């Protein structure tokens, strides 16, 4: 047999314990890998632009942008580390050992959980800014936001350590053969994780954004009613702002649901389905949200285009460029 000769084994010297090498990808798989690689590079590039812009320009050191910076960091790590490794695992063998496999899975859980936490913090920030504008500046300060971001990441580290502690202490507990990297979460833990990292956060986000939307609509209507007798043009402006608020909030919630729901539904269905081809698709869709986040959260801000121009043209290397006007 070809397997007995070691040609299809990840570790030919471990004949009875080695995993088989994945079959060489066909033309469709190669095209898919090229597409996924492009998405990974785009994710890294977009989020890196956000990170550089917010970190460099002093005008952008605001509480809201600190949250965007934290989100961009987690999404940057998704594009830099998680996406490439997942693509490699589908076409190659894992040669870094069981402990590194457990650490990689632990890191992937931390990054994705922190990303969800950042989205919740952003929704809270927008809720306070629009629904309680008089107290926003006194309640939401840079120091408090930085503290919340640190707590978010620390909670993600601690929370996920509870799920993978057995894999970290006994990295070979789910070891079936050498050359694979998997992690198994039991059904009860999976349900708990589903509630804490998806159902609860998405419920909070939808509730807060719906509250923001209702306040924005009521403010736009009140503005129209007060200025109808003054000028029709101002009324049209209010109507446009109402539609823009509805469109933006709809995109934020819809994209989050589209990217996250399939993964958690498949995870809840069972490990067999998660490791199938459909499981691979929902995982890539899950990671693809990290590419869309800078588009949704950053490209809606005028400073992003100005920041891109200054970064790409290397004007940020000039003395005093951090004081440039990008707003």
DSSP conformation letters of 18-60: BPBPPPPP-HHHHHHHHHHHHHHHHHHHHHHHHHHHHHH-GGG
Structure-model confidence comparison of residues 234 and 54, the more confident one: 54
End-to-end CA distance of the chain: 67
Of 304, 308, 296, the residue nearest 327 (C-alpha): 304
Average pLDDT, the chain: 79
The 3-state DSSP class for residue 83 equals helix
- List pLDDT tens digits, range 40-80: 999 999 999 989 999 988 888 989 889 989 989 999 999 99
Q: The tokens 């931390």 sit on which residue? A: 110
Query: Which pLDDT does position 12 carry in this prediction?
Result: 73
pLDDT of 148 above 50: yes
| Residue-range domains of the chain with CATH | 28-318 (1.20.1070.10)
CB 110 within 8 A of CB 157: yes
Q: Is 13 exposed, middle or buried (0-12, 13-18, 19+ CB in 10 A)?
A: exposed
Query: Which pLDDT does position 198 carry in this prediction?
Result: 84
CB 5 within 8 A of CB 11: no
Predicted structure pTM score: 0.84
CB 105 within 8 A of CB 70: no
CB 284 within 8 A of CB 86: yes
Q: For 190-207, what is the mean pLDDT? A: 85
Backbone angles phi, psi at 178, to 5 degrees: -80, 130
pLDDT of 259 above 70: yes
Query: Which pLDDT does position 300 carry in this prediction?
Result: 74
Query: Which pLDDT does position 125 carry in this prediction?
Result: 87
pLDDT of 1 above 50: no
- List pLDDT tens digits, range 162-185: 888 877 777 666 667 777 787 776
């Amino acid at each position: 047999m070809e397997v007995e000769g070691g040609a299809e084994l990840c570790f030919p010297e471990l004949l009875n314990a080695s995993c088989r090498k994945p079959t060489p990808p066909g033309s469709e798989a190669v095209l898919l890998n090229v597409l996924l690689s492009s998405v990974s590079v785009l994710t890294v590039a977009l989020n890196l632009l956000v990170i550089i812009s917010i970190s460099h320009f002093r005008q952008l050191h605001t509480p809201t942008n600190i949250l965007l910076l934290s989100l961009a960091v987690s999404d940057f790590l998704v594009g830099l580390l998680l996406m490439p490794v997942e693509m490699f695992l589908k076409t190659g063998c894992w040669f870094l050992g069981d402990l590194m496999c457990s650490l990689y899975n632990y890191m992937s859980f931390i990054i994705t959980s922190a990303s969800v936490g950042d989205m919740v913090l952003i929704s809270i920030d927008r809720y306070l800014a629009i629904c309680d504008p008089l107290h926003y500046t006194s309640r939401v300060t840079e120091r408090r936001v930085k503290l919340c971001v640190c707590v978010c990441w620390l909670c993600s580290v601690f929370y996920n350590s509870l799920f993978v502690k057995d894999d970290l202490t006994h990295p070979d507990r789910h070891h079936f053969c050498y050359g694979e990297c998997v992690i198994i979460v039991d059904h009860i833990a999976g349900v708990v994780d589903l509630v804490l990292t998806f159902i609860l956060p998405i419920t909070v986000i939808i509730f807060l954004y719906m509250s923001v939307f209702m306040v924005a609509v009521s403010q736009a209507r009140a503005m129209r009613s007060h200025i109808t007798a003054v000028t029709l043009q101002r009324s049209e402006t209010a109507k446009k702002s109402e539609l823009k608020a509805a469109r933006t909030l709809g995109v934020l919630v819809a994209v989050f649901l589209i990217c996250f729901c399939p993964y958690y539904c498949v995870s809840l269905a069972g490990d067999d389905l998660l490791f199938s081809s459909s499981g691979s698709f929902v995982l890539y869709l899950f990671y693809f949200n990290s590419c869309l986040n800078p588009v949704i959260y950053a490209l809606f801000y005028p400073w992003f285009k100005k920041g891109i121009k200054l970064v790409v043209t290397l004007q940020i290397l000039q003395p005093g460029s951090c004081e440039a006007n990008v707003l």
